[in-house]
Amino acid sequence: MAQQPNPAGFFPQGQFSQMPYGQPFAPMPQQMQVPFPTPTAATPSGGINVPGMLPVEESYIENILRLNKGKLVQINSTYEHNKEWNAKIFHGIIEAAGRDHVILSDPQTGKRYLIPMIYVDFITFDEPIEYEYPFGSGAGPLANYPPR
C-alpha cells in the first residue's frame, strides 16, 4: 500500500510512493542553504552597488541604450526561419529604448527602425559607452523591474 502524503504534499523522508502507471516517486532531498555574504552597499532590493557602474537592478540593456541616446550604433540581429534574410545589420542613432525594443534612425536615409530586443544579438559603438547614470541631471528615469 502506498504511503499517503502529508497535507503539504510531501512524503516522510526516505519513504517512496507508487505513482499511477507504476512509476516510483521519490521525495526531493532537502536543499542545503549556502550563506550569502552581506552586501556592504546594499540597495533596497538587495543588490550590491559597485562604484562606477549602474546599480544591479538598473543594468538592463534598455537602460544602457537610454544612457547612450543620440549615439551612432550598429545592431546585429538574427531572424530564424526567414527565407529572405536570416541576419541583418542596422546602422543608426539611438532614439529610444524600451524593455522589449530599440528605436534607431538612419541619418543617411532618414528611415527609422523599431527593432524588437528578441532579435538583437549585440550592439557595437564607435565611441565610449556611457554606463553611469547621471543622477540629478534630469536625463530621465531608468527602468527598475521587480525580480522574477
Q: What is the pTM for the complete model shown?
A: 0.55
- Judge whether 71 lies within some domain: yes
- What's the CA gap between 16 and 24, in Å, rounded? 7
- Please give the Cα distance from 72 to 94 (Å, whole number): 7
Residue 79 has a pLDDT of 93
For the chain, the domain total comes to 1
**With the C-alpha atoms ordered 21, 26, 27, 33, is the resulting torsion angle positive or negative?**
negative
How many distinct helices (H) and strands (E) make up the chain? 1, 7
Residue 80 belongs to what domain range? 61-125
Residues of 100-132 as b/e, b for ≥16 C-beta within 10 angstroms?
ebbbbeeeeeeeebebebebbeebeeeeeebee
- Distances in whole angstroms, Cα of residue 53 to Cα of each of 65, 67, 111, 129, 140: 14, 12, 33, 12, 17
CATH number at residue 95: 2.30.30.100
Query: What per-residue confidence (pLDDT) applies to 85?
Result: 84
Are 6 and 15 within 8 A, CB to CB? no
For residue 118, the model assigns a pLDDT of 95
pLDDT of residue 37: 47
The low-confidence residues of the chain, meaning pLDDT below 70, are 1-59, 133-148
pLDDT for 39 equals 46
81 inside domain: yes
The answer to whether position 27 is within a domain reads no
3-class DSSP state for residue 69? coil
